[in-house]
Amino acid sequence: MIDIHSHVIFDVDDGSRNIDESLRMIAEAKNVGIGTVIATPHFLDHVLNPDKTMKNLKILLEHANDTGVEIKLGYEVVLHPLMLKGTGIVKQYTMNKTEYVLVEFPFNTSFELSCKVLAQIQQNGLIPIVAHPERIETLIKKRRLIRRLKDSGCLLQVNAGSITGYYGEKSKTVALRIIEKKLADFVASDAHKPEYYERYINAFNKVTELTDGEYAQKLFETNAQRLLGNPGAQFDRITNTDYITNLKLRSKC
């Protein structure tokens, strides 16, 4: 399996605190059958100290060389209104230097302004992967917006912990609904500590139970292989870079 969302680089954000914890995270990932982890430090934190991120990644790669788990670099770009005048920079912070970028709606700022940032990212030719939509309060309250994000050309990544109920019943209900309707494109750990990977197998089994084994395989492996192996790979989505801009006017997204 491939985990596309993990805060495994130590001492750069609210994820791993030190190299030992990072190595424990990698060991736990391997234990549940993950062969590749994409490290996705928070973009806003990275901007404050980019040299430290690259330095700590290099140390991690050296220590993890013989673990059997491949580590690649991506970022989790926060859709903060401060980025409205500089979304072009996001091209430097994509998933493994592809056209895909993992984005997160901030928990404490305007959803409408975040949509404007998202639209600009799309207009710059990038394909957003929306991290854990099931945890965003606006999307929990207005679930129709999740489908509209999908229809806009975004891909959707659900957290394994949401499927198992770690983030509460509301997030679990929305996550399972996204899975049942087959709107999700990826399931990932969003791991900040080693124990996050304990939920992975249960999440895989739940997805298989709700849908089928083929769809579960897509969410946990196949789609991520396409993402990493073929930057031009097409997922089942509608591409319309103006859709979100129009959407926010119609439904206050």
Q: For 130-160, what is each residue's pLDDT tens digit?
A: 999 999 999 999 999 999 999 999 999 999 9
pLDDT at 243 over 90: no
User: Model's pTM, two decimal places?
Assistant: 0.90
Q: What pLDDT does 212 receive?
A: 92
| CA separation for the pair 57, 72 (Å, rounded) | 9
- The predicted-structure confidence for 191-235, as pLDDT tens digits, reads as follows 999 999 999 999 999 999 999 999 999 999 999 999 887 545 556
Q: How many CA atoms lie less than 13 Å away from 24 in the CB half-sphere?
A: 14
59 phi and psi angles, rounded to 5 deg: -65, -45
Q: What pLDDT does 209 receive?
A: 97
By CB atoms closer than 10 A (0-12, 13-18, 19+), residue 151 is: middle
pLDDT at 45 over 90: no
Decide: helix, strand or coil at residue 240: coil
Task: Write down the domain spans for the chain.
Answer: 2-251
> How far, in Å, are 32, 38, 110, 170, 172 from residue 167 at the CA level?
21, 22, 22, 8, 7
pLDDT at 61 over 80: yes
Q: What pLDDT does 86 receive?
A: 83
Averaged pLDDT, 166-190: 97
Architecture of domain 2-251: Alpha-Beta Barrel (3.20)
**Residue type at position 246:** N
| CA separation for the pair 83, 126 (Å, rounded) | 15
Q: What pLDDT does 229 receive?
A: 78
Question: Bigger pLDDT: 140 or 43?
Answer: 140
In percent, how much of the chain has pLDDT > 70? Answer: 89
